[in-house]
Structure 1
Amino acid sequence: MKRVLTQLLNLPDVVVESSLQEGYVLILSVSKKTKSAVCPQCGNSSQHLHQNQNYLVKDLPMGDKEVILNVNRRRFKCKTCRKTFNEKLDFVGARKTYTHRYAENIVKQLISSNVSNVAENNGLTDEEVNSMLEDIAKNVLPINLNNLRRLGIDEISLVKGQGKYIVVLVDIDSGRLIGLVKERKQFEIENVMKSWGEQVLERIEEVSMDMTLHSTWKNGAALLLKFWVSRDISF
């Protein structure tokens, strides 16, 4: 059963140690497969376990079950520099109560909604949703853009009816979020896209833009045409 749950969880280098189901909530106790961790102070590997530290984080659901991970973030002691340190977990940030992929899923929901509605639908507060937005922008983005061929540009309403928006950039083929822009201003979006580099921009074959966003930009089409003069651009 543990092997099956580990495969279903599908987090690299993570194993499910035990599970507990309470109604529609599935609690999975997880830890890293490796028995050692690299000391951030001196760079040496340590297998000397100093302490187990467990805490709960939200993850993507499995079917109709809400998934909570009981994460063991182990604390090691380095025999070289004598310092204690927490192991690095790639799937969750330090002191965060949700996995990176859970936050990314919440941000995707925002594309067709707003912060308040998404928070209510997922049992979160507005502050938690905004925190996930910031977390994705700082710690998950940017991602590898080598396979980007079709780009989607859309907007997220932060507060319904108050005209506060941010812009999201999406890889249409994979459905992955690849960029966040704090304001829906042409130069802000242009700067983010330029930061990807000329090689990435040249490989893009199609751009799809939200109509509301397009009407906000007086020169929206001109911005894209500067990058893809002969490309297939749809609005």
Structure 2
Amino acid sequence: MTEQRVLIVDDEWNMRNLIRIYLKKEGFTTFEAANGYEALSMMKAQAFDMMILDVMMPGMDGWEVCKTIRKSDSNIPILMLTARSETKDKVAGLGLGADDYLTKPFEPEELVARVLSLLRRSNLRQVTAVPQTKIHFPNIRIVPDARDIYICEKAVDFTPKEFDLMLILAQNTQRAYAREELVEQLWGFDYEGDSRVIDTHVKNIREKLSRAGLTYNPIQTVWGVGYKFHVQGGTA
């Protein structure tokens, strides 16, 4: 197994140290950043396999760090840590592109288990990824192997989870997906968060499609169920 590099981002030294100790026991190589600006600078200089990101930090909070990372189209798995336990905060974090969410205080063993789970999922996606043909709809072109989406012939940036959601729906037109089904495909069967995070992703996708000049909404709401991808005259 290749060396797994984890970046720990938290303004509290005691928290960084605790996480570092437990991850090193599992054989991980850890790096530390005390704030969001330092974390982004480190990511520009070197590659990491995963990030553990505290939400409540002075200057630049974890939400802003996550948002900035996803704008650069980075697929790095992000586990967010926060003292907040409200569902709306978890949904907000996941809606920005985080992969998992753990509330403080937590058992170190649970954090290690979450890290291992996220890395397994990330590695599985890389191993099983196969080139796929382009998917075309009116003014929409999706290139799965390059993870690109073009709207009206212009490249539009989507977070990794937004891209995956678009691809799942676009590859299965006319099929109505329940929110729980989409959550399982995007985060795995062990995800314990709220399925309403799908609504946040759909809202973000629709806004980006509209801003890019798309004059119709391809992701339709199926009341009482979830969502489906439907375009008149489109072919996949």
After TM superposition, the score normalised by the length of structure 1 is 0.30
- Between Structure 1 and Structure 2, the one with more strand by share is 1
- Between Structure 1 and Structure 2, the one with more helix by share is 2
The higher-RCO structure (CA 8 Å, 6+ apart) is: 2
